[in-house]
Every structure is written in C-alpha cells, then in structure tokens.
Structure 1
Amino acid sequence: MTSRTAAMRAALPVPLAEPLEGWLDHLRAERDLSEHTVRAYAGDVVSLLDHLVRRGGSRVTDLDLPALRSWLALGRTRGDGRSTTARRAASARSFTAHLRRTGQTPDDVGLRLASPRPHHTLPDVLTADQARAVAEAPRPVAEDASPAEVAVGLRDALVVDLLYASGVRVGELVGLDLDDVDHGRRLLRVLGKGRKERSVPFGVPAERALRRWLDAGRPALARGDSGPALLLGVRGRRIDPREVRRVVHAATSAVPGAPDLGPHGLRHTAATHVLEGGADLRSVQELLGHASLATTQIYTHVTVERLRAVHASAHPRA
C-alpha cells in the first residue's frame, strides 16, 4: 500500500473505516486470500471510500451507484486502463456484496456496476525447440568452482526444468518442501492460491535434475536452519522468488531467438505445449490450478494464433 493510500485510509471517518476493516478481515479469514491480494483490494476500496467522502458521504449507506460510477470514471480520466478499471470494479462489488450480506446496507448497490472486459494480451511463449534448448543448455562451472557454486548450478537447472515440466507458479515452486515430492509417481504436492492443494505431474528429465540436486546440490547448501525447503539459496535458506526470476531470465535470454521470459512465461509455455499436444482444457485448468475455466481459455487463443502464424508463413495461398 502506498503512503498516499495509507494516509487516505487513516483519514476515513469511523463509520467507513470499521466496515472496511471488517471486509478485509473477511477476505483474510473466510476467503483465505493472500496478503498481497488483500492489499490490492484494500487499495481499491480505500480509494472508493475517499471518493465518497469527497462527495459528502460519511457512512456506507451513502454509497450508491452514481458514486461508484463517478469513482470509476475518475480513474479512467487519470489513466486507468481497461484491466485496472475491471479490477477496481470487482473490488467494489466484493465490498458492497459484503455490506449487504452482513446487514450494513439494505441493498447491494454494486450489483448493477458494469465494467469493461479487460483486454487479454497473448503471452509470449517459447517454441518446443526453444524450451528444449532452455532446459538442456549447459551451465558451465569453473574447474576451481567451490561445492556451493556447483550446487547453485544444479539448483538453477532444476528450477528451469521443474517450472517448464509442471507449469507451477513461482510462489508455488519456492514453497515446495522435501516431502511434497512423490518420486515414485513423479508428482508435486502444490499449495496454490486460496491454499488449495493439488497434485502436479512432472517428467523424467525433471526427475533426473531433481535427483542430481538432492544428491549433490542441496547437501552443499543446507545449514542447520534450512528446514524442509526443497530449493535453497546460497545462504541455506528457502530460495527467494526474486532469485528464481533471475535464473529463468538468464536461461531464456541465453537462447538465440527466444523471448526473454520469467517464471510466468515458462508457465504459459508449459500450458500452451500441453494443449497443443492434445490435452483438453479441463485438464490444463487442473494442471495450472485455475479456479475458473475462463482463465484457462486464453491458451486456446495462444494456440490458434500460433497456428495462424504457421499457416501464413507456410501455405502458398495464405
């Protein structure tokens, strides 16, 4: 939360501040949203309530549809894009629904709040050959490298292999513990958004990279306080997501012609390749841990666009 948002939140009158805090507690305790998501929701609704105060409102019963619409319109004049406007509208609707459900307002004024559909830009993905090159690229180690430096090379190879093999999110990857790996069935037990657990398969190359890391890599970095974390940083603690992003960017940018992707780009790539290989959309939804099939459907657009590009370059009458 920015300092400006924090100042607006602190300045809210009590009849607005208390319903806001109650809603945020609901998001944490009942909907089990991550703190990052709660902060994003809070920023949107603090802005809304500040706008309400500037219009002369002082309590949640003063919140009406014209106030909601003028708040969104103000954001558009300040440069909010379609995606931001859609997110802010969703935050407002969640807040007004909670107010009605808890009896703080007689009606849910957000029910009729329309918002633009966000533009879904197609993500960059690697081709199958590029993905193979990224995963199999040698990671040179100096002859006089220390055991820790050798271990980091094994870890980095595993990071890239597992992200592409499984399509997990970076947060899910860094959260893996040793006992989250089922070696016999080659499955990862992943704790996803909303603390929803799912099992994600990975392939033989990733299993080989995992074995090398566990046999010769992790022991060189592990310390007394390493705990059960599967992936470790150079100081022996659980690896930081920023380090994972650095590793993936370095690996993808080293392959000629490949887009410079981060961990989410490997997730997009994995989903696209699985779908192109014949998997049905429901299976891809389960693999990625998407709550809604609509989120997964972007990958059908990715594969169609790739097919169109191939057709345009290869068909003599394209």
Structure 2
Amino acid sequence: MPRSTAPLPADDAGDGSPLGAAVRTYLGHLAVERGLAANTLSSYRRDLRRYVRAQEARGRTDIADITEDDVRAYLVSLREGDGDHAPLSAGSAARALAAVRGLHRFALREGLAPGDPACDVKPPTPPRRLPKAISLEEVERLLAAAGAPSGGDGGTARGLRDRALLELLYGSGARISEAVGLDVDDVDLREGFARVAGKGGKARVVPIGDYAREAVDAYLVRARPELAGAGRGGPALFLNARGGRLSRQGAWMVLRAAADRAQLSEVSPHTLRHSFATHLLDGGADVRVVQELLGHASVTTTQVYTLVTVQLLREVYATSHPRARS
C-alpha cells in the first residue's frame, strides 16, 4: 500500500495558529516516522482539520490551552452535527476522537502541552450488532445450490470445489480467510479435523463433520487434480480455475453465486460462521466450547450469539403463549 511522504502545506489542518502548527507536526510524524498509509493519513488530516476549526471557534489557538471540557464539547458536536456537518454515528465519532486522542498524546510526549486533556474522554459505544444467521433449512438450500446441476457446475471440478468449500465453512465455523488459507496437509479427513491459522497467526483445530468430510473427499479425489493441472501445483487445498490458491474474493463469489441460486438474500462471508455458532448454541452447546471452536480470545465476543438465541425464545414466546400479550 502506498505511503504518504508529501510535505504538509501550511493551511493543511488549520491556519497559522500554534494549534494548527502542532497538528501539522503530528501529521508529519504519522507520515514519516509511523509510515501510515495514504488513505489513513488523509482521514486523520480531515478529522484534525475539523478539530482545529472547532477549537479555534472556542478561542483555543494553542494546543496547550485546550481543556478536557473542550474535547468533550467537540465530541458532542460530532454526534449532534452543525450547519456544515451531518451528525456522525457512534462509530464515525469514535474514529474522529481517536485522531484527537493521538494528537494530544503526541503533544504531551513532545512537550507541546503540559497535559493530555483527551485521555479521559471516552468514545461513544456503537450499538451492538447482532450477527445474522440463517435457518438450518436455508443452510441446506445454500449448500445444495453450491453443487446443483442447475448452476451449471454440478458435476464439474468447480462445482465439487464449491460444495466442499461451503460444507467446510458451515461444518467447522472457520472464517473464509482461514478456509482459503488451508493446505491439503492441514486437513485430516480420517480423524475429522482441520488445523486453521486464525487472527494473529494463532492456530487452532476445528472439527469437520461427516457431510463436510464427504464433500472435501469428493473434491480431493475427483476435482482438485483437474484444477491443479492448470497451474504449477502447490499445497493449497482450494484451488481456482488457474490452479492457484482460491482467494477470499473468489470464495466470496462462490458463496454469492450459491446464495443467488438458492434465492437467499443478505448472505455475507460471515453468514455460515454465524449460523454455525447460533445452531450449536440452539442445540445446547456450551458457550465456552463455541468460543474455542470460533477462535475467540474472549468469551464476551462469543456471548453475542446467546443474544440471538434469547431473542428467538422471546419471539416464540410472544407468538405462542396465550398470556404473552394483552
């Protein structure tokens, strides 16, 4: 990714005030010493330009004069918007505040200010988004569509590969990036497990159910040799039409095509992973077991799926119990 090393003009983040100068020094630090990507640096520049203008409108022209109340007022203005800016969501406001917090930490460290007025200003908490899972019947439709003759690839190498990929994703709960990163030697079909490399390179073992084992075995025997013949060979489990490793984008296209054939909407790369976790919990699995299977560092991350199952219980109760509603 390209790095930005361009000089910062004098009016890049404000006028010639000491505050504007401090921001330009910070942006130069991010560009040269931290080597931030050009797009990231552009976002920081835009956010801090707005911050400078807001503080100068409050009479704060020196970064050393900014107080915690000034920072808090700025955060409020982000959420409420003004004549020139629409209100920001919690996530966007948190991103803008992160730029401000980084600026003040830098100013304190470099001796440009006697303290850090932003250190105790907490970003707004974004609303928790519940993961979207599809029903078991919808999963079965999706998996059948991956290798359906009506899709044109039913008995072909690509059709067998697509069915194996989606069966593995749902049968193991692996991320798409983890699945396409698998090598043939990472999968033990006799024992029924695969070793995947999760976030941060942390490896974990995930089980592979009978349906996924059969689909992967059929792909390895009947399809992968044909796909491998189009390339130079390699260890990757899932191959593209040129014999190279299937990419995340390629796997996403496989999922999207199967979803279209199954007439399912709002199916994302994480849908099968979400469905894997939700269906396990619905079936009585312990949340800590699901945590290990998903590779979550904290059980708190996994517990969001319990909210989905509780919500389902409430919906069933509300529509089924005679005294649920007046």
TM-score by length of 1: 0.76
Secondary structure (helix, strand or coil) at the match of 1:215 reads helix
- Alpha-carbon distance between aligned partners in 2 of 1:9 and 1:163, rounded to the nearest angstrom: 47
Residue of structure 2 equivalent to 1:31: none
Count matched residues: 300
Contact 1:125 1:269 in 2 (8 A): yes
Deviation at 1:273, TM superposition (A): 0.8
Report the counterpart of residue 124 of structure 1 in structure 2: 132
Q: Deviations over 1:126-175 (max 9, x none)?
A: 11222233224473448xx899x701101110121111112222222222
Which structure 1 segments of 5+ residues have no match? 28-37
**1:138–1:118 distance in 2 versus 1, CA, 3 Å:** closer
Counterparts of residues 115-154 of structure 1 (less than 5 Å): 115-137=123-145, 139-141=147-149, 150-154=156-160
Uncovered stretches (5+) of structure 2, i.e. residues with no partner: 14-20
Instruction: Report if the CA contact (8 A) 2:196-2:205 is conserved.
Output: yes
Aligned partner of 2:270 among 264, 273, 288: 264
Contact conserved, 2:5 with 2:32, CA < 8 A, in 1? no
Tell me which amino acid in the other structure corresponds to 2:27: A
Q: Secondary structure at the match of 1:263?
A: coil
Aligned to 2:258: 251
Kindly indicate whether the alpha-carbon contact (under 8 Å) linking 1:96 and 1:110 is maintained by their aligned counterparts in 2: no
Partner of 2:17: none
Contact 1:44/1:92 (<8 A) preserved? no
Cα pair distance change 1:73/1:297, threshold 3 Å: same
Secondary structure in structure 2 of the residue aligned to 1:176: coil
Equivalent residues of 2:133, 2:272 under 8 A apart: yes
Q: Deviation digits for residues 84-118 of structure 1, max 9, x if unmatched?
A: 3234445665x469759x94467554431122221
Other structure's SS at 1:198 match = strand
Aligned counterparts of 1:303 and 1:8: Cα–Cα separation in 2: 53
Residue 27 of structure 2 is matched in structure 1 by 17
Change (3 A) 1:229 1:61: farther
Match of 1:196 among 202, 221, 234: 202
2:92 paired with 1:84? yes
Residue number in structure 2 paired with 1:30? none
The equivalent position to 2:181 in structure 1, one of 167, 175, 179, is 175
1:242 aligns with 2:252: no
Work out which structure has the larger RCO, using CA pairs closer than 8 Å and 6 or more positions apart in sequence: 1
TM-superposed CA distance for 1:228, in Å, is 1.9
| 1:229 counterpart (236, 259, 274) | 236
Query: Helix, strand or coil for the counterpart of 1:116?
Result: coil
**2:167/2:212 contact within 8 Å kept:** yes
Q: Deviations over 1:40-93 (max 9, x none)?
A: 865654444434555579998788645654554454323421233234445665
Q: Distance in 2 between matches of 1:289 and 1:260?
A: 24
Alpha-carbon distance in 2 for matches of 1:196, 1:92:
32
Question: Post-superposition shift, 1:302?
Answer: 0.5
1:292 deviation in Å?
A: 3.2
Deviation of the 1:23 alpha carbon:
7.8
SS at match of 1:199: strand
Cα pair distance change 1:47/1:288, threshold 3 Å: farther
Aligned-pair CA distance for 1:205: 0.7
Aligned partner of residue 190 in structure 1, secondary structure: strand
Rounded to whole Å, the distance in 2 between the matches of 1:278 and 1:91 is 44
Aligned residue identity for 1:252? A
Name which of structure 1's ranges 128-137 and 297-306 shifts more when overlaid on structure 2: 128-137
Corresponding position: 1:275 with 2:281: yes
Moved more, 123-132 or 82-91: 82-91
CA RMSD of aligned residues (A): 4.0
